[in-house]
Chains A and B, each alone.
Chain A
């Protein structure tokens, strides 16, 4: 992706109320996040991403533009198993299930994807530490989208 394309993307996003935008193309991952939170407009889901299963190795992902994530074999990405709306907490009043840096255990609930009025709890497949949360509360997700990155515990 060229700088010009990134600039075009930025100005394009400026005119929408999209708060978080993620793109992975030709092995380059871009994440753009706006500071102000606004209600979730759906972006064009054209992002090619290697979703061979729900869980994928991030180790092979080449350096991303922003922010740079060091490629490590012990980092796993939890991807969306269903289409729906992403929520970080069980209810609007409650606090989020996890934060960056949280220690999580296999089977622990990480987030919720609402689909057809049903709250589907997404569980961790690993023991480890949350390294990144790619989605904003209330954001629409499609099948295979990366949600959360977990660094698995060294003894695992």
Chain B
């Protein structure tokens, strides 16, 4: 392995814990760092920890963290050779990756072509179909006629879901359980779609009752090596926002893991993908898996995989971007789980910005905390509500969950409301501990009024 630093200087085009994560990966490799910040983030840790920092705009993200000209200029005036976009903001913006290229700055991530290919869900799905990666069965685009729709629905099988092409938010959406309901449901969905979006175009897809959301982490270098670093089960989510991720998934057999890993590698190769990426799959009751989409960036929950493989994914990203081959990941060990600690009410999830009057981090064996906050810091209302990622590892799932519960009890935050009580209730919930949850779990869990149970146990 070449020990010379892959770059002399990297600009980190992000804020918060992920900016810190990238700065740390750079420092360990002898790379100097440039932070960018908005006027709301002057006192942020990423600004303090970087070797240089450039203010790129006011608090609004489109004028600062998404301000392409100012960020490119910041790279130019500091003579940074590469830009790491983190997650969110410009991380999956093909236009930005292209501008980096033309400005002679290396974008630490996949090519603009890979980003736009995977960003176009229809194109990505049809590529997967051609490659032989299973996708959710359904109409390829909008349905053309009622007759075609009916014959297709027989092919797909019931239950199925009708969705508005222009849609979102449940409008123009119908779940159909048997064929005699199909015609009425189709008409209702079309009418609703037309009223809501001005287009009666709808498409149909197989509907899954209790799906699990399982993703495969891959690493691909410019020499054509593609590796799978196993899965992360992200089924614990609320309104499509992930709250907890763990690996290994409690429902994956070694055989299924092998199959999903092969599919993810096949997907990455077909797309000519280079750098770290995540292939998201839906897993149904019968352990069938289907491609949903590919995320062309480092993900929030990447530490779960890092802990399991003792492998630094951010360092790998940087080395890949510099043209180095990637080290094979080796074998995983034990179990890892991450809880996202958000500045939100634990039960309603309403945002709760403010000042951290007290911020006492947990520690001890098997605990990792990724955060950019400190006691006395203020959580600005302009950005996302993530305050800390708490990661627990153990030899077994049980040990990891017990450690997580212990660490959550140690974690003291005053001044704002956080999701710590939610996670604590979850870690001690019998159903969750069985590991048989699906994406509908959190909704059901909240219906059981877990806050009452906690209060009772507090009294004993």
Contacts and interface: CB of A to CB of B under 8 A. Distances in A.
Contact of B103 (A46, A116, A141, A145): A116
A142 B58 CA distance: 12
Interface string A120-132: 0000000000000
Interface in B47-95: 47, 51-58, 64, 69-74, 76-79
A153 to B, nearest CB: 29
A84 interface: yes
Contacts, number: 63
B39 A144 contact: yes
A17 to B, nearest CB: 14
Contacts of B74: 83, 142
A142 B69 contact: no
A86 to B, nearest CB: 10
A42 interface: yes
Interface string A36-62: 000000101110100110000000000
Contact of B55 (A44, A85, A118, A142): A142
Contacts of B53: 44-46
Contacts of A48: 42
A116 B52 contact: no
A45 B103 contact: no
A98 interface: no
Nearest to A81: B57
A18 to B, nearest CB: 13
Interface residues of B, number: 23
A83 B54 contact: yes
Most chain B beta-carbon neighbours within 10 Å: one of A44, A46, A82, A116: A116
Nearest to A115: B73
Interface SS majority for chain A? loop
A145 B57 CA distance: 11
B77 A116 contact: no
Given A116-B69, A144-B39, A42 B78 contact: yes
Given A142-B55, A144-B39, A144-B55, A42 B69 contact: no
B227 to A, nearest CB: 36
A81 to B, nearest CB: 9
Interface in B142-173: none
B54 A51 contact: no
B95 to A, nearest CB: 13
Nearest to A46: B53
Contact of B56 (A46, A118, A142): A142
A116 B72 contact: yes
Contacts of B52: 42, 44-45
Nearest to A48: B42
B305 to A, nearest CB: 34
A142 B79 CA distance: 14
B42 A83 contact: no
A51 B55 contact: yes
A82 B70 contact: yes
A83 B39 contact: no
Interface string A80-122: 0011110000000000000000000000000000011010000
B426 to A, nearest CB: 41
B56 to A, nearest CB: 5
A140 interface: yes
A51 B122 CA distance: 44
Contacts of A143: 39, 54-58, 64, 70
B301 to A, nearest CB: 32
A144 B38 CA distance: 10
Given A51-B55, A142-B55, A83 B70 contact: yes
Contacts of A118: 69
Given A44-B52, A142-B54, A144-B55, A83 B73 contact: yes
A44 B71 CA distance: 16
B424 to A, nearest CB: 38
B39 A51 contact: yes
Contacts of B70: 82-83, 115, 143
A82 B73 contact: yes
A132 B15 CA distance: 34
A134 B55 CA distance: 17
Top 9 closest pairs, chain A to chain B, by CB: A140-B77, A115-B73, A83-B73, A83-B70, A142-B55, A143-B55, A142-B54, A84-B73, A143-B57
16 contacts: A42-B77, A44-B53, A45-B52, A45-B54, A48-B42, A51-B39, A82-B69, A83-B56, A115-B69, A115-B73, A115-B76, A116-B103, A118-B69, A142-B56, A143-B54, A143-B55
Interface of A: 42, 44-46, 48, 51-52, 82-85, 115-116, 118, 140-145
Given A82-B69, A82-B70, 4 more contacts: A115-B70, A116-B69, A116-B72, A143-B57
